């Protein structure tokens, strides 16, 4: 097989694949930011009633997209954890009580 012909075929295949993935990504993005319809809300209400779940809250009518959450994890030292969480922990070993 000629190398230039193989490159052309691969470029066409990847271009079509990119287009398919782009269209799929658009449909996912549209569904993630949409407000449930009245029919969807009714279905949810029926499912909740069937499972004996009561929600005493007003469901908002308007929807404003919110920004992405930024989460920062904090790194704790072993000494900090021992001092703040296990200060007065009692442990029973066989027949004696020990305080950590």
Residue 98 near residue 90 (C-beta atoms within 8 A): yes
Residue 65 near residue 56 (C-beta atoms within 8 A): no
User: 15 is written with which tokens?
Assistant: 């271009």
Domain count, the chain: 1
Q: Is the pTM of this model over 0.85?
A: no
26 is in which domain, residue-wise? 3-99
pLDDT values of the chain reduced to their tens digit, one per residue, 100 residues? 688 899 999 999 999 999 999 888 877 766 665 667 778 888 988 999 999 998 888 877 677 777 778 888 888 888 888 777 777 666 655 555 555 5
Q: Is the dihedral of CA 41, 45, 48, 50 positive or negative?
A: negative
Total number of residues shown for the chain: 100
């Amino acid at each position: 097989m000629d190398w230039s012909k193989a490159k052309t075929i691969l470029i066409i295949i990847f271009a079509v694949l990119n287009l398919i993935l782009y269209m799929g990504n658009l449909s996912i993005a549209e569904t993630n930011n949409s407000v449930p319809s009245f029919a969807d809300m009714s279905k949810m209400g029926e499912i909740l009633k069937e499972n004996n779940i009561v929600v005493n809250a007003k469901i908002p009518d308007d929807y404003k997209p919110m920004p992405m959450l930024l989460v920062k994890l904090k790194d704790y030292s072993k000494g900090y954890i021992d001092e703040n969480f296990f200060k007065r922990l009692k442990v029973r070993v066989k027949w004696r009580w020990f305080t950590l």
